[in-house]
Amino acid sequence: MAEDIIVKGTDVTVSFMNKVGNRKEKKTVLDGLDFDVRRGEILGLAGESGSGKSTLAKAVLGMVPLERGKIESEVTNPQMIFQDPYSSLNPAKTISWIMQEPLKLGKKKYSSEERLSKVEEMLCEVGLDAGYMQRKPGELSGGQRQRICIGTALMQAPGLLIADEPVSALDVTIQAQVLDLMREIHRKKKLTILFISHDLRTMYNFCDRVMILQKGKIVESGKPYDLYRDPKEPYTRLLLESAGII
Amino acid sequence: MLLTLFGVSFLVFAAFEIIPGDPAISKLGTDATPEMIAALREQMGLNRPFIVRYFDWLGDCIRGDFGRSYSYNRTVISMIGDKLPITVTMTIISMLLVIAVSIPVALLLAKYMGSTIDRAGYISNQILMAVPSFFLGILITYIFGLTLRFFTPGGYISYRQNFAGFIGYLLAPSVAIAIPKCAMSVKLLRSAILEEWNKDYVRTAYSRGNSTMQVMYRHVLKNALIPLITFWGMAVADMIAGSIVVEQVFNIPGLGRILLTSISNRDYPVVEAIILLIAVVVIVMNLIVDILYRCIDPRISK
Amino acid sequence: MLLEIKNLTIEFHDHDRPERVVEDVSFSLDKGEILGIVGESGSGKSMTALAVAGLLPRKKMEKSGEILFEEKNLLTLPRHDLRGLQGDEISVIFQEPMTALNPTMKIGKQVEEALLLHRHMTDEERKAKVMEWLEKVELDDSERVYEAYPHELSGGMRQRVMIAAAMVSDPQILIADEPTTALDVTVQSQIIKLLLKINKDSGVSILFISHDLSLIKQITHNVIVMQKGRIVEQGDTDEIFLHPKEEYTKKLISSIPSVDLRK
Amino acid sequence: MKKGRLILTVLLMTMAAALSGCTGGKTADTPDTRITIGIPQDLDDGLDPHKVSAAGTKEILFNIYEGLVKYDETGALIPAVASDYKVSEDGLTYTFTLRDGVKFHDGSNVTAEDVIYSIERCSKAEGGQDPLVPPFTNISEVNKVDDKTIEIKLVAADPDFLAYMTVAIIQASNDDPETKVIGTGPYKFVSHTPMESVELEAFNDYWGEKAHIGKVTLKIVSDPAAIVMDLKGGSLDMFCRLTDSQVSELKGSNFNIEVGTMNLAQALYLNNSVEPFNDVRVRQAICYAIDPQEIMDFVSGGEGTEIGSAAFPSFSKYYDPALNDNYNRDVEKAKELLKEAGYENGFSFSITVPSAYTPHVKTAEVISEELKEVGITADLKLVEWDSWLSDTYTNHNYEATVIGIDLNPVTARNLLQRYTSDGHGNFMEFSSEKYDEVFAKAVASTDDAEQTALYKECLQILSDEAASAYIQDLPSFVALNNKISGYKFYPIYAQDFASLYYIDEAND
Amino acid sequence: MAFIKSIKKIFNKYHGFNFNAGLVITGLIFIIALVGCFYTPYEPTAMNVSIRNTAPSLAHIFGCDDSGRDVFSRVMEGIRNTFFISTMTVLIGSGFGIILGAAAGYYGGKFDEILMRINDALFAFPSVLLALVIVSLLGPGFLNVTVALGIAFIPSFARIVRSGFKSQVNMDYVQSARLMGAGDLRIIFVHILPNILPVLMSSVMIGFNNAVLAEAGLSYLGIGVQPPRASLGLMLKDGQALLATAPWNALFPGMVIVLMVLGFALLSEGISEAS
């Protein structure tokens, strides 16, 4: 792979059998996809529900078997943050336990003091403070929880962070703050981010590149400015119009 | 489904390999000489290796021949066939009682949510669930049989002689079996109704101008019945097991009594046939529950 | 004036100390007007809408002020009369199309329920009215939809069914509580267009609740901005979007990601 | 001396006949009277009189089948199908004269062929199996003298042989006695619904005194608690072998309680081949530690009769009450014996008891309490009847057990052969040369008095060597509806329904 | 460590009516069982013919049974035995139930299919016969009944744990734990288990009262606790025959069974209500 591309997918196809009544039906979710993720970029992946964007994320993480094609990735420990803040943090554990977990599991061994100081440090980085250590996910707001998720994901200094609709469940003002945080982290740590969303407006200011996905196929991709100014594919134009951008 | 049946049949057959006691000895009684025992074992084919006997027996069962009872030397089918209607009728009556009692009571409790009636109903529910069925049987016989003379204890009338008397007598034991299951059904239905009540479509129904009763009967009850049906499916299996104990107390010669007597007589063919029968009934009940599921809840694909 | 609300206040009493959810809210709704209520979660916008629809829980709740509709105060109206209005004069559509419909009841029977409760019609008349509205909400193959169950339809189709079920009895007021939040962008814009068409054709006034400012901008004539149960600002939508007076409104408007394609 | 014996038996017979005749005062009952009798177990080991083994089944068949002679309630053998019989001088030939007018239930007359067929069926050993009645191997030949007389020749004289002549007489033409239940007794077999009930009906052409009650229903009641409730509830008129707690429940109800004995020897049977019971001193220590009277107080409210050895009271010829005082409760003596045997600080063992018999279970509980005072801990192991039958009784793997041993036929030889070293059914594993020697002499002697003395000496040895810790002959409580009377206790397992009758107000 | 912390958390979080009532009843019974180990007013097996079947009196508050033994002392011993058997039964049942249920729920697929089939087979098998097999395998008596009941309870626990795991396994926090490199075992026992603890706790309580009922049933049939030791089921059975003349023989054990079962039922309600 070219040295600046860290993940390359060629002819990626994923399908699964779903039982309708007693007949087994093959449903293709990703259909011969070619894509690449470059080091240090924020790549946007736009598409409506059923377009296969989450499945693509899982494919990149190697959690879904490919029917055809292959994905080469030099990233050793990719991490992911999710849309629903309520199910993305273990409700039975305290924040400090949750954030120490990646340190316990990582290859580098840390003593408990080192772990606590790293957690405190990360909490500040994501705009919270040590006071949150002993609290439980149930006691926090959606925005605070998403910040904890980001902090936890960064604990193992991942080569790639996949964000699956991280802000769409939050209030508009909170969304802006969380996106700012992610942009700052991207800048400071040169972190490559795969940003999955259905909201083209948010992606315009956030992503370096945007790929439009429809029914498992990449319709179009490019810089947001070029893409939004003269969309070549009718589907892209439809999305932009529905979002009131053009 | 067949796998389960196969599993049960193997478990039963293996069980009697382990339980001590030998059918030949139990048939010949105390003054049996060792030679007589050996000869009878030969005649019964007990000396053949376990596996051979198992597959022979399984083969016969599939062909519908469940062999002859060791102690009664009548065909197993005639014996069970004669007793099956008794236990089945009792289970059906108990089932009807459970359904007839639990739905109105649960609706009542759901209607007066949180009031004193709800609390009192709740406590009595818990108590009724806590009473062992044989204890219940005794209390019922004592109160309704001896003191109030509603029925003559032990006065079982066979369905051949007089059907009304037969049903009349079975009412009391059916009540003893049904009560714990009624309490459980009420509890389950009540919590299911509570759960459905918080769902969005109830609010939509209210927004259309339905009164509370209309919302309950047109929308919630049907959906709340779904978890209950699963419970009733499983409850039938418990009821049959429960009837074994209750048949003792009410002196009813049903399947339960045959099972217990045959176990103590080491009457292998009869026991194995009865247990297979119970397993079949349990599996059939689960099947019926699935089918009921499908027609009530369209979400499950046909 | 079709509907007038004067210093509406709602207090919850189920926790130890009473929690004031809506405080001193007053506004009015004219015939054929589309009035938006916008605010973040916890601003009380849904509570206000539910109060108008008469769907607030009766217990552990203190309500004061007036909601006047045809000279009747909906807050103090006896339940029987309130039920006469619900589904007939005032209808509601909700946010989650997946759960707002009864999963085990056919679509046709759910849409006709308002008619069943409020109109004396023969079965044929009722079916005709339902089929008429299923076509009006642009559902293709309305015959199949009539017989179908909710889980067999997509999110967008289900929301159209909700609209049909609400409009079938020609209500005067339609309350839409975040109707498109759970839908895809493309489907969202179709539903908005449908609501605008219905408003134009039947003159029904719509109370549109949302947290999405760009949506409010597209559909509403006037808007009310709420924060923590109080009205921060209200008035003509375009006027407020061009130069908002209150700090909070400014902050809200600025947080919409702007797409400036001119540079 | 032999002639004297002969006259004695004849005298007895005439007296019995006379006696039965004059209980009088009973009118011939109308056929529609009925009685429902509860029985604890179903007749689940078949209905063939020659093959049946369960005591519960034999009790009932007593009413349907009769032998050439039959027992009466005193235990004496009275003529039945045979009107009378003569025994030859050397005791080797028995001649029976058939009673005329004896009919089978299907109306056919009893012929000599039927009698010969019945006896040969029991003595022939089909295919290497033992004969149905083992002592019949002593019969050399059975021949028909004429239509009315049968002659049986024995290989060796046997004073008890007459007892074996109670074997049921069935029709020669009856190829399947299991299903064709036709006998000569006072009651006819009507039907048997397994696990439910057995129906009998009075046989109007019975040769002897006709049964008073027309229909008898035997209803199976397997749950002890239900018995009392069913009696009080009115669905049962009679139940045998109740426990004393059930009897106390029936006080004040419309039931009379008849008290008799169970005719069995209940004891703590010790497995003499097992440590430490192989030491006679340990066995004697246990006898000293146990107090039969206290057991009787607990188990049956003081009822029941103490026994000192294997014979039970109604076997009056051999029962010797003096043996009861052989081991009166003496804790010090028991400890002394234990010390001698090297078990100062006691030992522990388990008593296996069939769970279905409440009296035996309660006896074991009392024993384990009593043994505690001597430092011996006995814990109970309840097993099902079938496990007891095969594990304990047949395979002898147990330490101690509490059970009652009854007798059928009621002969001393049958009672005592069990204790001989190689005796059939010697589950106690008792063996003492002295005992074997005396028993052999007793069997061989032909003089009755000498034989009785020798058998008594055997019983003495059993007590002295403490083969088992003998306790009691359990009381037999029978609940009978107070409108019915005439219940008779028999020394053998027999329930005589024919003697029951309704006390009609009319004929009192 | 986390496990104990969450148990502590659960207990101090609940305060509903059910939970308190359940706690009071179970606590009372537990204390009686505990005291029963050291002191009982009379030797439970001491017989005294003079006081056979005497009515409850100051000396014998629950009266005396058919062999003149103090019913109250026997009930205390009975509670201890029944309590012990039920606890062991639930421990065995839930222990294996968790392992099997977790594996079936977490991995799903073929393994789940086979496990559930075995489960159904065990369900369809009358527990009476199962208990008989095990008791005859190991001999009657105290421990063997516990093992028998324990095994008979595994299917129901496995089913509950399985449904608990099925609902948790697709949650996002499980996926992120996997991404961080957590092994399956760690995910099952450290991550998922604490979240289904409330459901498990309430089913443990229901399991408890079914165990008490089952033990009573088995003793009724003569399998299980051997006389002269006492168990509530056995006392109930013997007491039945004396319902008219000495009803306290049956009523007090029966009442204690009902109380015990009621206590656990309320406790389980309290837990499931609050979770």
User: Domains, chain C, ranges and CATH?
Assistant: 1-89+212-263 (3.40.50.300)
Are chains A and C in contact at 3+ CB pairs closer than 8 Å? yes
The answer to whether D380 contacts E226, with C-beta atoms less than 8 Å apart, is yes
Are chains D and B in contact at 3+ CB pairs closer than 8 Å? yes
Picking from B62, B94, B112, the residue at the C-terminal end of a domain is: B62
Q: What does R_g of chain E's alpha carbons equal in angstroms?
A: 21
- Residue D1: predicted pLDDT: 33
- Residue E274: predicted pLDDT: 63
Longest dimension (CA), chain A: 57
- Chain C touched by A201 (CB under 8 Å): yes
Asked whether residue D21 carries a pLDDT value surpassing 60, the answer given is: no
d(CA B154, CA D235): 6
Whether B259 maps to a domain, the answer reads yes
E139 pLDDT band (50/70/90 cuts)? low
The answer to whether A228 contacts C252, with C-beta atoms less than 8 Å apart, is no
Asked whether residue B59 carries a pLDDT value surpassing 90, the answer given is: no
Nearest to B261 among D42, D45, D46 (CB): D42
Asked whether residue D20 carries a pLDDT value surpassing 60, the answer given is: no
3-state secondary structure of D344: coil
**B contact test, residue of D176, D222, D381, D405 with most B CBs within 10 A:** D222
Nearest CA in chain A to E173: A88
The answer to whether E242 contacts D245, with C-beta atoms less than 8 Å apart, is yes
Nearest CA in chain C to A235: C186
- Residue C207: predicted pLDDT: 93
If asked whether residues B171 and B295 sit together in one domain, one would say yes
- Range of the structural domain that residue B17 is part of: 2-62
Mean pLDDT of the region D142-154: 86
d(CA C250, CA C254): 6
- Residue B287: predicted pLDDT: 80
- Residue B154: predicted pLDDT: 74
- Residue D4: predicted pLDDT: 39
The answer to whether A20 contacts B302, with C-beta atoms less than 8 Å apart, is no
Q: Which of residues D282 and B64 earns the better pLDDT score?
A: D282
In angstroms, what separates the C-alpha of E136 from chain B's closest C-alpha? 5
Whether B263 maps to a domain, the answer reads yes
Residues of C in contact with B211 (CB under 8 A): 79, 83
Nearest to B72 among D194, D219, D387 (CB): D194
Mean pLDDT of the region A120-136: 89
Q: What is the CATH number of the domain that holds B197?
A: 1.10.3720.10
- Residue D26: predicted pLDDT: 44
| Residues E198, E10 contacting (CB under 8 angstroms) | yes
The answer to whether A93 contacts E2, with C-beta atoms less than 8 Å apart, is yes
Asked whether residue B33 carries a pLDDT value surpassing 80, the answer given is: no
Indicate the pairing of strand D501-502 with strand D187-193: unpaired
Which H or E element spans position C23?
Answer: strand C19-29
- Residue D126: predicted pLDDT: 63
**Angle of helix A112-125 relative to helix A142-154, nearest 10 degrees?**
130
B302 pLDDT band (50/70/90 cuts)? very low
Whether B68 maps to a domain, the answer reads no
- Inter-chain Cβ pairs, chain A and chain B, closer than 8 A: 4
In angstroms, what separates the C-alpha of E47 from chain A's closest C-alpha? 55
Asked whether residue B63 carries a pLDDT value surpassing 50, the answer given is: yes
Whether B78 maps to a domain, the answer reads no
Nearest to D249 among E139, E140, E245 (CB): E245
The torsion of the CA quartet C200, C203, C206, C212, rounded to 10 degrees, works out to 10
Residue type (1 letter), E75: V
If asked whether residues B44 and B166 sit together in one domain, one would say no
Cβ–Cβ contacts within 10 Å for residue E26, how many?
20
Mean pLDDT of the region A207-228: 90
Nearest CA in chain D to E238: D225
If asked whether residues B211 and B145 sit together in one domain, one would say yes
Tokens of D230: 């069913």
Nearest to B39 among D129, D222, D384 (CB): D129
- Residue E12: predicted pLDDT: 57
Q: What is the pLDDT of residues B109-152, one digit of tens each?
A: 767 766 777 777 777 887 888 787 778 888 888 788 778 888 77
Q: What does R_g of chain B's alpha carbons equal in angstroms?
A: 24
- pLDDT per residue, tens digit, chain C (263 aa), is 889 999 999 988 877 778 888 999 999 999 999 999 998 888 889 889 999 998 887 777 888 899 999 888 988 888 889 888 898 999 999 988 888 899 888 999 999 999 998 989 999 999 999 999 999 998 888 899 999 998 888 888 999 999 999 999 999 999 999 998 888 888 888 999 999 999 999 999 999 999 888 888 889 999 999 998 899 999 999 999 888 888 888 888 888 777 777 75
- Chain A touched by C262 (CB under 8 Å): no
The answer to whether E179 contacts A82, with C-beta atoms less than 8 Å apart, is no
The answer to whether E262 contacts B18, with C-beta atoms less than 8 Å apart, is no
The answer to whether C214 contacts A200, with C-beta atoms less than 8 Å apart, is no
Chains touching A, CB cut-off 8 Å, 3+ pairs: B, C, E
The answer to whether B154 contacts D44, with C-beta atoms less than 8 Å apart, is no
What are A7's strand-pairing partners? A37, A73
Mean pLDDT of the region D479-504: 86
In angstroms, what separates the C-alpha of B302 from chain A's closest C-alpha? 5
Mean pLDDT of the region D321-338: 87
**If contacts are CB pairs under 8 Å, which of residues 187-246 in chain C contact chain B?**
none
Quick one: which of A183, A231, A173, A181 has its CA closest to A203?
A183
If asked whether residues B138 and B247 sit together in one domain, one would say yes
| Residues E203, E269 contacting (CB under 8 angstroms) | no
If asked whether residues B114 and B212 sit together in one domain, one would say yes
Whether B178 maps to a domain, the answer reads yes
Whether B25 maps to a domain, the answer reads yes
Mean pLDDT of the region A83-95: 86
Asked whether residue D125 carries a pLDDT value surpassing 70, the answer given is: no
Nearest to E126 among B126, B234, B241 (CB): B241
Asked whether residue E4 carries a pLDDT value surpassing 80, the answer given is: no
If asked whether residues B116 and B180 sit together in one domain, one would say yes
Q: What is the pLDDT of residues D65-94, one digit of tens each?
A: 988 888 888 878 888 888 888 888 887 888
Tokens of C241: 């979007």
Quick one: which of A87, A16, A89 has its CA closest to A52?
A16
- Chain C touched by A172 (CB under 8 Å): yes
The answer to whether B131 contacts E258, with C-beta atoms less than 8 Å apart, is yes
Asked whether residue B258 carries a pLDDT value surpassing 90, the answer given is: no
Whether B294 maps to a domain, the answer reads yes
Asked whether residue E32 carries a pLDDT value surpassing 60, the answer given is: yes
d(CA A30, CA D385): 70
d(CA D398, CA E95): 36
What backbone torsions phi and psi does residue D397 show, to the nearest 5 degrees?
-100, 90
If asked whether residues B131 and B205 sit together in one domain, one would say yes
Among the residue ranges B15-19, C33-37, D34-38, E60-64, the one predicted with the least confidence is: B15-19
**If contacts are CB pairs under 8 Å, which of residues 65-124 in chain D contact chain B?**
none
- Residue B268: predicted pLDDT: 77
Mean pLDDT of the region B187-204: 86
Asked whether residue A212 carries a pLDDT value surpassing 80, the answer given is: yes
3-state secondary structure of B266: coil
Asked whether residue B187 carries a pLDDT value surpassing 90, the answer given is: no
The torsion of the CA quartet E165, E167, E168, E170, rounded to 10 degrees, works out to 120
Instruction: Kindly report the average pLDDT of chain D as a whole number.
Output: 82
**D contact test, residue of B74, B134, B249, B251 with most D CBs within 10 A:** B251
If asked whether residues B87 and B35 sit together in one domain, one would say no
Q: What is the pLDDT of residues D238-273, one digit of tens each?
A: 998 888 778 888 888 889 888 888 888 899 999 988
D439 pLDDT band (50/70/90 cuts)? confident
- Chain B touched by D358 (CB under 8 Å): no
Nearest CA in chain B to C169: B208
Q: Tell me the percentage of chain E whose pLDDT exceeds 70.
A: 86
Q: Which of residues B101 and B24 earns the better pLDDT score?
A: B101
Residues of A in contact with B301 (CB under 8 A): 19-21
Altogether, the residues listed in chain A come to a count of 246
In angstroms, what separates the C-alpha of D196 from chain E's closest C-alpha? 20
d(CA E172, CA A89): 8
Chains touching D, CB cut-off 8 Å, 3+ pairs: B, E
E8 pLDDT band (50/70/90 cuts)? low
- Chain D touched by E128 (CB under 8 Å): no
| Residues E128, E191 contacting (CB under 8 angstroms) | no
Are chains A and D in contact at 3+ CB pairs closer than 8 Å? no
d(CA D179, CA D198): 13
If asked whether residues B135 and B196 sit together in one domain, one would say yes
d(CA B92, CA E75): 37
| Residues E233, E227 contacting (CB under 8 angstroms) | no
Quick one: which of B284, B287, B277 has its CA closest to B255?
B277
Q: What is the pLDDT of residues B66-79, one digit of tens each?
A: 777 777 777 888 88
Residue B75 DSSP symbol: B
**Ranges of H-type helices in D22-94:** 55-61
The answer to whether D248 contacts E242, with C-beta atoms less than 8 Å apart, is yes
- Residue C147: predicted pLDDT: 92
If asked whether residues B186 and B39 sit together in one domain, one would say no
Quick one: which of C183, C25, C218 has its CA closest to C93?
C183
Cis, bond preceding D276 (omega within 30 deg of 0)? yes
- Residue C123: predicted pLDDT: 92
If asked whether residues B141 and B48 sit together in one domain, one would say no
Mean pLDDT of the region E102-113: 85
Residues of E in contact with D225 (CB under 8 A): 237, 240-241, 243
> What Cα–Cα distance (Å) separates residue C94 from each residue in B57, C114, C209, D157?
63, 16, 10, 107
If asked whether residues B41 and B123 sit together in one domain, one would say no
- Inter-chain Cβ pairs, chain B and chain C, closer than 8 A: 72
Number of domain units in chain B: 2
Whether B73 maps to a domain, the answer reads no
**E contact test, residue of A89, A101, A140 with most E CBs within 10 A:** A101
Indicate the pairing of strand C90-93 with strand D34-39: unpaired
d(CA C19, CA C39): 18
Chains touching C, CB cut-off 8 Å, 3+ pairs: A, B
